[in-house]
Amino acid sequence: MSKDLMNLGDLGADKLAQVLELAAWMKKNRGKEQKALAGKSIGLIFLKSSTRTRVSFEVGVNELGGSPLYLDSHGLQLGRGESYEDTARVLSRYLHGIVIRGHAHDQIAAFGKECSVPVINALTDRFHPCQLLADLQTVIEKFGHLKGLRVSFLGDTACNMGNSWILASQLCGFELRLGGPKGYQPDFSQLPSWVDTSKIIVTDDPVAAVKDCHVVNTDTWVSMGFEAEAADRLKALGPFQLNAELLAHADKSAIVMHCLPAYRGKEVTAEVLDGPRSVIWDEAENRLHAQKALMATLFK
């Protein structure tokens, strides 16, 4: 296992399974878990705004007995041009672990390499491993297992969530279908070399993407940084809206997931997002438990 978590592959299949088991235990025994971070200071560096990621990590550090230190671009010399590498070298001498949410993946990876303490990628433009931990925990809660399930991800499948679902499918043994139009499909060159691209199902047919799937999920079509492209994105991705008509093609037991924030009437309808198949609030809650398990594993 790697010192850092830049993507799920850094855990590997066995350690990933152990983290998910620990996350389930921590959820069931919240308040009774060992204070794995007692006496430790954990830096939370946020170069992009956040709701779930910031709050879940800050609460998680506190519940594990540690001291969270929140830092944003305005509170660091990174905002004035200091290099990621120099910042990493300094912060490593103060902190016991670092969580960083940023932009360019290569910059965050370079930051991690220069740190002498473990670093968790809390989101980059290429991967979102912490969200996938919560998503996988949620799927296990609903189905009892991951292996053999059929999972669909709709919309802009070239995003960090699409890439992260690809890694998860190969580590956990479930079928993944990525449904999106040409121009919004995954760039295999961004994936680690161990990924078997022949096992990745990519389609521009929304019905084929969800047919008989057990898990159907999507993400916002206009993420931070893409506001100027909003009109073009909404037009191109429109046929992949997760609505009742499309969901009817999924398995009868299918659950609906969305990593939030959601925009009702765009990538998903209110009827589906707020409907009986939606597990998004469990999914959001599980960010806390999955990340606590991850920190207890990496920052011990």
From the list 4, 126, 131, 172, the catalytic residue is 131
Which of these is catalytic: 130, 159, 213, 259?
Answer: 259
Name the catalytic one among 128, 233, 258, 289: 128
Q: Which residues contact 163 (CB under 8 A, 6 or more apart)?
A: 7, 126, 127, 186, 190, 191
Q: What is the Cα–Cα distance from 25 to 107, expressed in whole angstroms?
A: 34
Residue 84 carries which side chain, given as an amino acid letter?
Y
**219, 233, 241, 289: the active-site residue:** 219
Q: What residues contact 134, with CB distance under 8 A and at least 6 apart?
A: 283, 284, 286, 287, 289, 290, 291
Alpha carbon distance 134, 289 (integer Å): 8
Check 54, 105, 177, 287 and give the catalytic one. 287
- As a whole number of angstroms, the distance between CA 177 and CA 85 comes to 37
Whether residue 277 lies in the annotated active site: no
Q: Has 131 been annotated as catalytic?
A: yes
287 counts as catalytic:
yes
E strand or H helix that includes residue 297 = helix 280-298
Catalytic annotation on 105? Answer: no
Catalytic residue among 54, 101, 105, 177: 101
Is residue 101 among the annotated active site residues? yes
What positions carry a catalytic annotation? 101, 128, 131, 219, 259, 287
